[in-house]
Structure 1
Amino acid sequence: MNKPLKIVLISLGAIIVVILGFFAYMFLPVGVTRVITPTGQITDNVYAISGGYVNCYLVSNGADYILIDSLTSPEALKTGLDELGIDPESIRYVFLTHADYDHAGGLPLLSNVTVYMSSDEEQMINGKTARFIFAPPAVKEIKHTALNDSQNLIIGSTMIRAIAAPGHTPGSMCYLVDGKYLFAGDAMNLNDGKADVFFFKYTMDMETMKKSIRKIAAITGITAIFTGHTGYTTNAQAAFEGWK
């Protein structure tokens, strides 16, 4: 074997090892146990939809529904809605906590919806900021209305406050519904009922995430926390002990 060819093969082998190592790292089990809420009604107006390893949530808004995140794919979202007996056409608004595929992947199922997302998350879909070294943007295009921190919206009978919670991604955003229900996405985990940081390997800035959790813990009136991968709690006060 000639020397130039040998160098090329060694270089290619090294690149393959690095790539395989990266994907092995990303998909190895993480320390905190995922707790996925089964598809069904949780409170008088909140429903969970299970996508296998991730939850999204529906908020009843009179004759229609508000969706918080959208699972991994149109098929996963449709399966959950069918189980609940809810027509996708009855969903009129979608609030994305961030643009990762397991939260935004179901959007193509929905037509005639208004999608809201943090203005700081736009960098994650326009290619300005890379999510992972070897990965393109999880979702390349989302037609949306941009939200800013502390922005309030009234949709029908429902009041929603947008809360910037960077860390997992630069534009991660939580939504406080009617002053009491916090939809956190991946801005935090629940670990034995306590607020905790999200899985470190998927978090872009851990120190910023900790600051975001402390900021949210200082908000009064929250009674329940709904997360993307670790279930929910109806005892928010106990969950935030140690973060205030």
Structure 2
Amino acid sequence: MYFWGWDPTYILVLIGAIISMIASANVKSTYNKYSRVRSMTGLTGAEAAQRILNSQGIYDVRIEHVSGQLTDHYDPRAHVLRLSDATYASTSVAAVGVAAHECGHAVQHAQNYSPLSIRSALVPVANIGSSLSWPLVLIGLLIGGSASNVLIQAGILLFVAVVLFQVVTLPVEFNASRRGLRLLGECGILYDQELPQTRKVLKAAALTYVAGVLASLLQLLRLLMIANRRRD
């Protein structure tokens, strides 16, 4: 009755959604602000990424253009660094910062950074968990009986795997930003007065991952409350 009608635990979902929306709005606002600030060297995101990779002796990573807004990512399996429309050809301090952050992931991969390896190992389990956790819980709530408890517990365990993946992602992302900022200075891509601006962009982006973890923890708490209430 609670699950399908008004459920007090919905407040947890609402809080998580608000946290995520605030973080998303903040990163968009910060990026838009500094995307209008041209870097003094005039290097594009792609050029900055190439210089950083070369400085670290990484020559087996291709830099590709990918469509979309802030869809930048490093693919460790294909050894490809993909930069979005807003980053690839832009000379802004925001674009250069995002490119440097993705290069940070490439450097992590090249140096066998442990948290990155752990996160990569958790990807299959996290994908399964994100797809099956809630369906298993819903089916368990619908069918009733002893089997329902097994399904609900399995769903919760799979969701724990999703949360664990997101938690492990935090040090990976923060470390990539630190590496990227340091290399921007060392490679002469940004001057000292520009680095604080880029740092704000990367900090805002990192906070979206923190918001995601908090939202998922609230979802996990909701699952546990629903499961406990059902047993009662």
Is TM > 0.5 for Structure 1 vs Structure 2? Answer: no
The one of the two structures with greater contact order (alpha-carbon pairs below 8 A, sep at least 6) is 2
Give the number of the structure whose alpha-carbon radius of gyration is greater: 2
Report which of the two has the higher share of helix. Answer: 2
